[in-house]
Structure 1
Amino acid sequence: MANLTLVYGLRLLPEGEVKQVHDATLELVNGNEAHVTMHVLEGSREQIEAQLKQSLDAFFDFYPEI
């Protein structure tokens, strides 16, 4: 298996501050564009950590070959 690149970003904001979330656009070496769906997790630190771990586990379930 070749090495991979995981594109990821985090930012914490006070509850109620986010109005809208858009996809992030990536420019690939071959000139194409790719999009990263952004997700919002809300709750206490413990709730966010649990949701994030569950989301990450689910993400890798989409790619069993990894």
Structure 2
Amino acid sequence: MERAGTPGPYRADEGKLTRAQAEVALKAVAREASRRHPTVYEFASALVAIDGGDPATELADFRPPVGR
């Protein structure tokens, strides 16, 4: 039984995301922090890499958020 707010298994026929996109998105919203992307840069890198992009090139101007 799944709890409310817990994503279930991904099924390709249910949405408009590719499997790779869904995996990156589900990792981003994982309930346990240890299962999420450790930084915004890692999340962005995963998104860029889905289509074969080079994160080092495409995110060369990336500036992490400052403070909270």
The two structures share one fold, judged by TM-score above 0.5: no
Which structure carries more strand by proportion? 1
Give the TM-score normalised by structure 1: 0.32
Which structure carries more helix by proportion? 2
Give the TM-score normalised by structure 2: 0.32
